[in-house]
Structure 1
Amino acid sequence: MSSTTKSGGLPARQSEQQPPGSDGDIGLLTRLGLRFTAWAEKWFPDAFVFAALAVAVVSIAAMINGSSPVAVSKAFGDGFWSLIVFTMQMALVAIGGYAVATSPPAARLIARLAAIPRTGRSAVGYVAAISMILSLFNWGVSLIFSALYARALARREDLRMDYRAAGAAAYLGLGATWALGISSSAAQLQANPGSLPKSILDITGVIPFSETIFLWQSLVMALVLIVVSIAISLWSAPKGQHAKTAQDLGVSLDDAPPAAAEPGAKPRPGEFFERSPLLTLLLCALGFGWLVQEFMTKNPMVAISGLNTYNLMFLMIGLLLHWRPRNFLASVAKAVPSTVGVIIQFPLYGAIASIMTSTPVGGVSLSDRIAHLFVSISNTETFAVVMGAYSAILGFFIPSGGGKWIIEAPYVMQAANDLQVHLGWAVQVYNAAEALPNLINPFWMLPLLGVLCLKARDIVGFTFLQLIVHTPLVLFMLWFLGRTLTYVPPVMP
């Protein structure tokens, strides 16, 4: 990495005389991306250490707020398993997505898509575009498909694609656009009165998609973020000697299906059902039967946004595409290592959320105090910027879209009512800002990193570059586009 840490500032004539592979051969964004990555590789902690440090910071802050060490310790233990269902769901997101993508039909489709790019940089751009577009429909699909697409591209030695930049691009769906799309937890909750707690419903009423994610202002914001993010991905991706391929990083790209039995080997009678599609057909008939009922009785977009529905669908599709249980189980076995980070680290995030919300002093928790501070300094003109900053900061410690909205919505939306801010836009303020801390918080990265066989430090230099651009851009758009909307009183069901 010596060429990427060389100090700049040389006169133009001298830089032109630098040898190939020096900083003089690359643009500003590439140079920044490489330097941020060099810093991250040296200083950015492992994702588990990152989460543990966040626990320490929040615990100290809670005690400064007045909570006793005993109360903080109790909140830690009470919250440690609070995300256990979500942890299992996220692990199955990775397993189901991997099983589908490594099936012979899906693998052929990904291989065809991987044949399209002509250069390493354009390959990174394709990954970024696919990741963000898919995330508008379902963040889980975006996370796993983009990671597997990046792996397929990495097999093309002719591209010499920087695998770190491709990994960062694959994560942009979660770091830029997902909360502005149909899988937005806050927008889904606000549009469905049956899912809203009374404490929120009495303040906001029902807010349909037409007043949140389908506002033209929201669509413009999503489009701008997609275009800007792709441009940054393209211009910051290292090329030539600066690029580090998967092979350079020591990443194995072997996704080969399980080996066939040796010629002449006679299957044991007990292996009959492993090698037969009979059980596959039975399980898929039951699974798809349930899915049909779900989609017939619910809004299809609401149904697919549920993680249980999504996971069952992908597991059934994966089983069907692998055809025989033996092949399906072999694929699942290869996917399991990608879930290790999720299983061991998500409990720490559950503990963080509990400490911030369940250690009140005089009825005021640490989360409440932070929220009230931001609400107190906002007015009609500054609401979008102040609330956006608040949502981003709190999202760094409580990275949970729907769960965090239930905590924040009562006072945030009451403030929007008092200041007469468009309620649907207030939801979008939360959504757009919610994605910003994802760019450097490993929470949502873990399934993707598991599939890519990378560490957070490998991609966070490039995602941090995106964060530097996104933060002022998002806050400006929240303020500017919000000025084009007028307040409409809440509609009660």
Structure 2
Amino acid sequence: MLNRASQPLVRLVERYLPDPYIFVLILTLVAAVAAMLVEGQSPVAVMDMWGKGFWGLLTFSMQMLLVLVTGFMLASTPLVKGILDRLASMARNPGQAILLVTYVSLVASWINWGFGLVVGALFAKALARRIQVHYPLLIASAYGGFVVWHGGLAGSIPLTIATPGHFTESQIGVIGTGDTIFAFFNLAIVVALFIVVPLINRLMLPPQDESVFADPSKIQDPEVPEVTPSRPAEHLENSRLLAWLVGFSGVAYAVYYFVQGGGLNLNIVNFMFLFLAIVLHQTPHRLLVSLNEAVKGGAGIVIQFPFYAGIMAIMTQSGLAETISQGFVSIATEQTLPFWSFISAGVVNLFVPSGGGQWAVQAPVMLPAALALGADVPRVAMAVAWGDAWTNLLQPFWALPVLAIAGLRAKDIMGYCLVLLIVTGVVISLGLSFL
């Protein structure tokens, strides 16, 4: 029944959702026009905001590109491929494949969002090599688990307000993760999503005769040709000693980092992926073969992320993001503020797809409202976090690494993600409002 109900949405998205690059161009124009009409900004002022902010995400863009590249290199090592294949062998039919990839993605994303994006997509490919399963839904299921990231261990908003010296400490103090990530209402939402998301994905699975299977050329790993060194340079390129001296040094630092109390973040995830890949590929030559294959999927990240930086600059500097947030706050009460914070964050996230950046925009609006209304401040903060994570199911910004690994287009999976958006929106709203 759900498969039949989801098909109109899938067809709608396939017909009308443009390539993510076209999507970001349209969002740029929408943000610019809205800043002029709503905030009274002049065209020159908007152009200045956009141009000055265009390169504001260069560090983050490189981090995201490295998530894709280092994750791909690690997953293409013989050891990791063997682990993924053995885990994939647990699925005996298409329905089990959908459930398994969803659970793996949910767990990995709850631990760390960058880890979840890469592991989910690579595991989906391992499943597709074993089982004839509807590939667009399989990849959508791998991406759908990403919805829990901001309620998990690497949630940027709860970790920010738990850090002494954060920019809103004078208003709300330091709020520990026991009141946010590990609060009952948040854990209940996470548990509910661990039940609902796999179930919805499984119910959307079409019959085999209506399924679209993976292109074998897009799911096979690159072949690494055997090289017999004949020159000094080739001996270096195929030297295990050289690779292991550097690789194990990186692994040792990662261990030292965690022993010293370091936490999971995007930089250390990329660091671990890279140096484990160096060790497990055994030679520089094998690593470089994997690297050449990995970078092919990074074009979308390179070209689109600067446009999102420009959009974020328009939204924040023009006051448009604040106006959107205040519009929702103006109709809120003590009981409904978490719900409206969630909805407003979902809207703002379409234009400011960054948890930390979004909190910087919305905190000055949401926190004074929460204090004035007597609302639960940790719950309001988590409502903004969940809103940021929720509409990632509609925003192709975060799907780019997954799509690059899978070899699909955004419109191939977004119809299924739209169904998840509707269902998870209801679950999260109920959890924030009544638990």
User: In the alignment, is the contact (CA less than 8 A) between 1:33 and 1:237 conserved in 2?
Assistant: no
Match of residue 18, structure 2, among 33, 45, 61: 45
User: In the alignment, is the contact (CA less than 8 A) between 1:160 and 1:239 conserved in 2?
Assistant: no
How far did residue 251 of structure 1 move? 5.3
Q: Which amino acid aligns with 1:73?
A: M
Partner of 2:211: 243
How far did residue 90 of structure 1 move? 0.2
Match of residue 297, structure 1, among 254, 260, 266: 260
Partner of 1:489: none
d(CA) in 1 for partners of 2:199, 2:84: 23
Match of residue 137, structure 1, among 103, 107, 111: 111
User: In the alignment, is the contact (CA less than 8 A) between 2:390 and 2:425 conserved in 1?
Assistant: yes
Partner of 1:190: 161
Does 2:359 match 1:405?
yes
Query: 5 Å matches for 1:237-316?
Result: 237-247=205-215, 252-261=218-227, 265-298=228-261, 300=262, 303-304=263-264, 306-316=265-275
Partner of 2:407: 453
User: In the alignment, is the contact (CA less than 8 A) between 2:222 and 2:290 conserved in 1?
Assistant: no
How far did residue 267 of structure 1 move? 2.5
User: In the alignment, is the contact (CA less than 8 A) between 2:156 and 2:355 conserved in 1?
Assistant: yes
Q: Deviations over 1:252-281 (max 9, x none)?
A: 2220341113xxx55222111110022212
Closer/same/farther in 2, CA of residues 180 and 192 from structure 1, 3 Å limit: same
SS of 1:237's equivalent? Answer: coil
Q: Which amino acid aligns with 2:287?
A: F
User: In the alignment, is the contact (CA less than 8 A) between 2:13 and 2:415 conserved in 1?
Assistant: yes
d(CA) in 1 for partners of 2:75, 2:310: 33
Partner of 1:4: none
Q: Which moved more, 1:370-379 or 1:323-332?
A: 370-379
Q: Which amino acid aligns with 1:224?
A: A
User: In the alignment, is the contact (CA less than 8 A) between 1:95 and 1:335 conserved in 2?
Assistant: yes
Q: Deviations over 1:75-105 (max 9, x none)?
A: 1111111001000000000111111111000
Does 2:328 match 1:328?
no
Partner of 1:414: 368
d(CA) in 1 for partners of 2:422, 2:129: 31
Q: Deviations over 1:398-432 (max 9, x none)?
A: 11011211221122112111212222212211122
Query: 5 Å matches for 1:2-401?
Result: 28-64=1-37, 65-156=39-130, 159-174=131-146, 176-194=147-165, 196-197=166-167, 200-247=168-215, 252-261=218-227, 265-298=228-261, 300=262, 303-304=263-264, 306-359=265-318, 365-401=319-355
Q: Which amino acid aligns with 1:418?
A: A
Q: Deviations over 1:280-329 (max 9, x none)?
A: 1232243234323422333x4xx21x211111111001111101111011
SS of 1:398's equivalent? Answer: coil
Closer/same/farther in 2, CA of residues 251 and 405 from structure 1, 3 Å limit: farther
Q: Which amino acid aligns with 2:272?
A: M
User: In the alignment, is the contact (CA less than 8 A) between 2:229 and 2:238 conserved in 1?
Assistant: no
Partner of 1:432: 386
- Richer in helix (by share): 2
User: In the alignment, is the contact (CA less than 8 A) between 1:59 and 1:355 conserved in 2?
Assistant: yes
d(CA) in 1 for partners of 2:96, 2:321: 43
User: In the alignment, is the contact (CA less than 8 A) between 2:332 and 2:340 conserved in 1?
Assistant: yes
SS of 1:424's equivalent? Answer: helix
Larger Rg: 1
d(CA) in 2 for partners of 1:280, 1:266: 16
Closer/same/farther in 2, CA of residues 242 and 254 from structure 1, 3 Å limit: same
Q: Which amino acid aligns with 1:233?
A: N
User: In the alignment, is the contact (CA less than 8 A) between 1:143 and 1:447 conserved in 2?
Assistant: yes
d(CA) in 1 for partners of 2:163, 2:347: 27
d(CA) in 2 for partners of 1:294, 1:204: 30
d(CA) in 2 for partners of 1:121, 1:292: 38
d(CA) in 2 for partners of 1:377, 1:153: 47
User: In the alignment, is the contact (CA less than 8 A) between 1:121 and 1:238 conserved in 2?
Assistant: no
SS of 1:429's equivalent? Answer: helix
Q: What TM-score comes out, normalization by structure 2 length?
A: 0.97
SS of 2:111's equivalent? Answer: coil
User: In the alignment, is the contact (CA less than 8 A) between 1:102 and 1:257 conserved in 2?
Assistant: no
Q: What TM-score comes out, normalization by structure 1 length?
A: 0.86
d(CA) in 2 for partners of 1:427, 1:267: 61
Q: Which moved more, 1:265-274 or 1:47-56?
A: 265-274
How far did residue 33 of structure 1 move? 2.8
How far did residue 57 of structure 1 move? 0.5
d(CA) in 2 for partners of 1:242, 1:267: 53
d(CA) in 1 for partners of 2:141, 2:110: 15
d(CA) in 1 for partners of 2:153, 2:141: 21
d(CA) in 1 for partners of 2:254, 2:368: 38
* Identity across the alignment (%): 34
User: In the alignment, is the contact (CA less than 8 A) between 2:121 and 2:139 conserved in 1?
Assistant: yes
How far did residue 142 of structure 1 move? 1.1
SS of 1:170's equivalent? Answer: helix
Partner of 1:9: none
Q: Which amino acid aligns with 2:169?
A: L
Q: Deviations over 1:13-70 (max 9, x none)?
A: xxxxxxxxxxxxxxx2112333322222221100000111111111000001200000
User: In the alignment, is the contact (CA less than 8 A) between 1:121 and 1:239 conserved in 2?
Assistant: no
User: In the alignment, is the contact (CA less than 8 A) between 2:161 and 2:176 conserved in 1?
Assistant: yes
Q: Deviations over 1:118-171 (max 9, x none)?
A: 111220111111101111101111111111111111112xx3200000010000
d(CA) in 1 for partners of 2:304, 2:28: 11
Between the two proteins, the alignment pairs up a number of residues equal to: 434
User: In the alignment, is the contact (CA less than 8 A) between 1:102 and 1:331 conserved in 2?
Assistant: yes
Q: Which moved more, 1:405-414 or 1:68-77?
A: 405-414
